[in-house]
Structure 1
Amino acid sequence: MRPRFRFVVFDWDGTLADSTGNIARALQEACRDVGQPVPDDLAARYVIGLGLLDALVHLAPALEKERHGEIAERYRHHYFAGDAQIALFEGARELLADLRQAGATLAIATGKTRAGLDRALSHHGDVSGHFAATRCADEGRPKPHADMVLHLMDRVAAGPHETVMVGDTTHDLALARNAGVASIGVSYGAHDSAGFGAYAPIGVAGSIREMRDLLLY
């Protein structure tokens, strides 16, 4: 096996971790807790992948700025109540191991905070060692700005032609486009893949198995 790209940057939620349902419910409950209209599933899933504050402001635009901390805390309360039960998608562990064995360098670019990603990785400690670098939304400009991928490329000395971004949302694909790197969409996560075409991904994976075929040959 050989990797098609030397450097593979993964989104976490909805790409490697089966967490989008828990995130959407936590966003909905947080809005309810602070007296804001509760978004439907489609609206809640749309903001997955953005930084938490950006997501919450998008869902509750009428909420006073001084209450942003309150709604963020309510989101964390609801999300953390169920995050220990979040599983990785079937085959994700094996794919990560095979990519590393084939010589690829791996990273994560996520809308989670650093504390949130560290907590998620602590639940799946057997995979954390596969990632040479990670970048979170509270460490710079969040998706879809190019900063996350550019920072990670700099960390591992990878060029644009060597790099691919893999994610389940248009935010991930826009991030890749803004950074000048290839992308692979994931159709089993938060966003409908019908919207992916505008970002010209090199492929769309409907499963981890299909992702493997796009990343290894």
Structure 2
Amino acid sequence: MPDRAFDLLVFDWDGTLMDSEYRIVACLRAASLSLGLPALADTAYRHVIGLGLIEACAMLYPLAGDDEHLRLAEAYKHEFLSRDPAGMQLFAGATGVLEALCADGYRLAVATGKSRAGLERAYRDTGLGRLFEASRCADETASKPDPRMLHELLAETGVPAARALMIGDTEFDLAMARAAGMAGIGATWGCHAPELLLRHAPLACLDDIADLPALLASLPAAAA
């Protein structure tokens, strides 16, 4: 295996690999209105993408009680599952990049705010599950930006934090990586603006997932 800076690449899912922002925002708004909660600006709904569902609901409506957050989460699930998934696609080039990274010997994992059922459904719909050796979801561990899901992935794969890299489109991804002692790369094609990503000192911010292999190839082994 050639010298490289990292062995394990951990990807966020929504907003990093899959262009699901529009559907998530629409479902959050519809779920909120169904419970009589005030509709918020798109930017508010977009900002919580990447968090666990309960945590997202609590951030959106901090004055609502725990029971209301649970009802909102259930209403969101109903909205999400009842809509046509046809408009939700992987970002252009994502499949080819992941396949190329695997062929080059990188190990791949997923750390996502999705539920386990949601991630397994996404794996089936995209056929990408075969490329990832490990994953953690928000309903089976702590939500981002808590680093627990990364600690668990590192323990499962046996890779030290210094040899693992987080790739994500939100500041929650990069804050989680930093707390876990991992490096991060910001994906500016997703939900959060570059200035939010840069707060967490990523190695780089990329505008296109197709640029990831070249960036990784340019990093000296000593960078880890």
Normalising by structure 1, we get a TM-score of: 0.94
Give the Cα separation in 1 of the matches to 2:146 and 2:27.
25
Whether contact under 8 Å (1:31, 1:60) holds in the other structure is: no
Give the Cα separation in 1 of the matches to 2:62 and 2:47.
15
Deviation at 1:79?
A: 1.7
Which 10-residue stretch deviates more, 69-78 or 190-199? 69-78
1:27 aligned partner: 28
Give the Cα separation in 2 of the matches to 1:111 and 1:95.
22
Q: State the one-letter code of the partner of 1:133.
A: A
**Distance 1:75-1:214 versus aligned 2 partners, 3 A rule:** same
Is the partner of 1:216 in helix, strand or coil? helix
Say what the alpha-carbon RMSD is for the aligned residues: 1.5
Q: State the one-letter code of the partner of 2:93.
A: G
Q: State the one-letter code of the partner of 1:197.
A: L
Whether contact under 8 Å (1:37, 1:60) holds in the other structure is: no
Deviation at 1:84?
A: 4.6
Deviation at 1:194?
A: 1.2
Give the Cα separation in 1 of the matches to 2:196 and 2:63.
27
Provide Cα deviations, 1:74-98, integer angstroms capped at 9, x if missing partner.
1112222133541111111111111
Alignment of 1:8-47 (within 5 A): 8-47=9-48
Is the partner of 2:167 in helix, strand or coil? strand
The answer for unaligned runs of 5 or more in structure 1 is: none
Q: State the one-letter code of the partner of 1:117.
A: L
Is the partner of 1:61 in helix, strand or coil? coil
The answer for unaligned runs of 5 or more in structure 2 is: 219-224
1:65 aligned partner: 66
- How many percent identity over aligned positions? 40
Give the Cα separation in 1 of the matches to 2:75 and 2:217.
41
Whether contact under 8 Å (2:169, 2:197) holds in the other structure is: no
2:202 aligned partner: 201
Whether contact under 8 Å (1:84, 1:123) holds in the other structure is: no
Give the Cα separation in 1 of the matches to 2:137 and 2:124.
16
1:92 aligned partner: 94
2:160 aligned partner: 159
Give the Cα separation in 2 of the matches to 1:145 and 1:214.
27
1:109 aligned partner: 111
Q: State the one-letter code of the partner of 2:166.
A: M
Whether contact under 8 Å (1:22, 1:82) holds in the other structure is: no
Is the partner of 2:102 in helix, strand or coil? helix
Is the partner of 1:129 in helix, strand or coil? helix
Q: State the one-letter code of the partner of 2:104.
A: A
Whether contact under 8 Å (2:146, 2:176) holds in the other structure is: yes
* 1:119 maps onto 2:124 in alignment: no
Give the Cα separation in 2 of the matches to 1:86 and 1:39.
22
Aligned residues: 216
Is the partner of 1:199 in helix, strand or coil? coil
Which 10-residue stretch deviates more, 205-214 or 41-50? 205-214
Give the Cα separation in 2 of the matches to 1:164 and 1:214.
12
Give the Cα separation in 1 of the matches to 2:98 and 2:158.
20
* 1:176 maps onto 2:177 in alignment: yes
Is the partner of 1:90 in helix, strand or coil? coil
Deviation at 1:133?
A: 0.2
Provide Cα deviations, 1:97-127, integer angstroms capped at 9, x if missing partner.
11111111000000011111111111112x1
